[in-house]
Amino acid sequence: MQYPHARRTDFSETLHGTQVPDPYRWMEDIDSPETTAWVQAQNELTQRYLATIPQREAIKARMTELWNYEKFSAPYRKGGRIFYSHNDGLQNQSVLFWQETLASEPKILLDPNTLSADGTVALSAVEISSDGRRMAYSLSESGSDWVEWHVRDVDSGEDLPDVIRWSKFSGASWTKDSAGFFYAAYDEPRTEEAFKQANLNQKLYYHQLGTPQSADRLVYKNDDEPKWGFWGEVSDDGKYLIVSIRQGTMRQFNITLINLEDPSAPPIELMTGFKAIYGYVGNLGDTYYFFTDDSAPMNRVIAVDINNPAEDNWQTAVPQQAETLNNVSLVHGKFLATYLQDAKSILRVFDTQGKLVDEPAVPGMGTITGFGGSPDDTDVFFHYASFATPGTIYRYDVITQEVELFRAPQLNFNPEDYITKQVFYPSKDGTLIPMFISHRKDLAISPDTPLHLYAYGGFNIPRVPEFSVPYLTWMEMGGIFAVANLRGGGEYGKAWHEAGMKHNKQNVFDDFIAAAEYLIAEGYTSSPKLSISGRSNGGLLVGACITQRPDLFGAALGIVGVMDMLRFTKFTIGWAWVSDYGSPDDPAEFRTLLAYSPYHNVKQGTTYPPTMIITADHDDRVFPAHSFKFGAQMQWAQAGDNPILMRIESKAGHGAGKPVAKIIDDFSDQWAFLVRHLGMQ
């Protein structure tokens, strides 16, 4: 295959006494004429190649057909009103609705599909005021992390003149009187650096309705700590602003309370020293409840009397369990706690004294989310999904403890035709790793069965059962879909996360390689029929594994991956990942990073599996030069005929808010590539 020419330089630099080549450093100027021409040529090559795969259009047609069903989010109440999102099937973006009661006619509050012709303007966050009459909402263009906040009157559906710009990694939290809200933002970047420069010096502001952003009151900042980030949340009773302070993606926080009724009162520094996770759950009077892993690696809920906030006075409200506490809500004097039991959801209900009062049955081996509500609500809604069951909405009555089906989608396939089982396999060091394996019930499994293995393994984020039309399409085509729950994720609490971070990161790659070896040894597939993929940190996983074990896989998809582990700190929010990866500025951590950095471990003359590297030309989460440089290096090094292709999306970012049409195109290309290289019919 004749790849587009990529100028290879002899540029290198000495880092901690080690000479490190970086022949494609010039690609970090992503808007230069040279880089732009290379990107265009790569896309033209990839599209020509994919056009030769006859199954591509049939895959797209069936995926589109399967995608065309109604989808609902779990409703929640604010100010007595009910809010939820709905997609009629193939809308690029879901539409936000509201109702006065469950029996009243739904009304459209915001339809993002009207904001752009191609669906690339997405609704990224919504916060309804306490009285249910105002909505602060943020919009993202082309998948960017940058958002713009607007305010809409719920009754009229009209926007107020308020606009907030240059906000990122922020929600909005209304004051109890609904007169304004708190949000976080950065200083306006230089125009040419908006999608590249490091995001530092975040600040917390208060916006009063009817005033310009320039008049917004600065609430919290720390010029001495440019890497600190802030999240402001008004307490349930409106008396305090709970300021959560973070350092990048570290899972430890400081908590400061600011008195909103008495501006002269000194802030209460509730949690200091960045010792543990602390997340505000709610409050009943002066007792404030927090989710934490402090003295509880599987997480618990603590009660803090803000009149006596010293740590010695903290009480356990919900004690640590054997399973991982994943989320908790305070509704009508009860804690609704969702746990992960071997990466599958279970639900437990506790009173404020920590007594278990209910354990409602979960519909199956899947994931439950939602439970949004206020302390005075008497019911909540939750969303259930599994690998073969699309999102189904249930209602839980906190008083009667009854669970009832609220909304179920009408489908053009039968979930009962599919099966999921969970296995536990040994990793290189003997640690047992869970893995979900899903396929059609009638599938005849053998070493000739195509299998797609997916994983993430980082940042304390668990991989849980989820419904995905592309995954269903893959299984319908006769493939097995497997998800491995690698170390580094959040499946088993703090210790599981730490076993896959910094100097332990190789454990993650070993876990993934061991998953592939297990699937082959057990006769589910064979190397020529085994494909792998991962996104973001999972893209790093794919890059590391194909450079460490190129012989093991039949094909690979590396999606928006972190591929240059020596320069990830230089761009956008990359510096924040030091908490999980370690720092290339630290000599010991540098050696660990260099040992697995995909870009630096590509070896010329190696036969790598057929690989498609996927990114967006202006991804401002994982800077696209990671994929550009890795792709160029792979094309230069590849021996044999296996293609190394680049699929570089335009008007797209890291993935959030991506329109349905683009998602279908993306996955149709991915599956077509795998069909070709796994020898599927």
Cite the active site residues: 536, 654
Closest by alpha carbon to 281, among 268, 265, 299? 299
H helix and E strand count, the chain: 10, 39
Which helix (H) or strand (E) is 43 found in, with range?
helix 33-50
Rounded-to-integer distance, Cα 340 and Cα 335, Å = 16
Across the strands, what pairs with 368? Answer: 384
Rounded-to-integer distance, Cα 530 and Cα 300, Å = 40
Q: Are 519 and 479 in contact (CB under 8 A)?
A: no
Closest by alpha carbon to 110, among 232, 128, 102, 101? 128
Closest by alpha carbon to 318, among 363, 351, 271, 270? 351
Instruction: Give the residue ranges of DSSP H helices in 75-211.
Output: none
Amino acid, single-letter form, for residue 296: A
- Alpha carbon of residue 350 to chain centroid: 28
Rounded-to-integer distance, Cα 452 and Cα 320, Å = 36
Q: Which structure tokens are listed for 226?
A: 């440019």
Closest by alpha carbon to 127, among 151, 104, 159? 151
555-559 and 315-318 beta bridge pairing: unpaired
Rounded-to-integer distance, Cα 154 and Cα 187, Å = 30
Q: Which structure tokens are listed for 346?
A: 């279970």
Q: In the Cβ-directed half-sphere of 245, how many Cα atoms lie within 13 Å?
A: 22
Rounded-to-integer distance, Cα 675 and Cα 477, Å = 10
Rounded-to-integer distance, Cα 309 and Cα 635, Å = 59
Rounded-to-integer distance, Cα 97 and Cα 84, Å = 6
DSSP conformational letter for 550 = T
Angstrom distances, CA of residue 472 to CA of 21, 48, 312, 446, 519: 43, 27, 51, 20, 20
Across the strands, what pairs with 289? Answer: 282, 303
Q: Are 174 and 223 in contact (CB under 8 A)?
A: no
**Measured distance between the N- and C-terminal CA atoms of the chain, rounded to whole angstroms:** 23
- Give the SS3 label for residue 133: coil
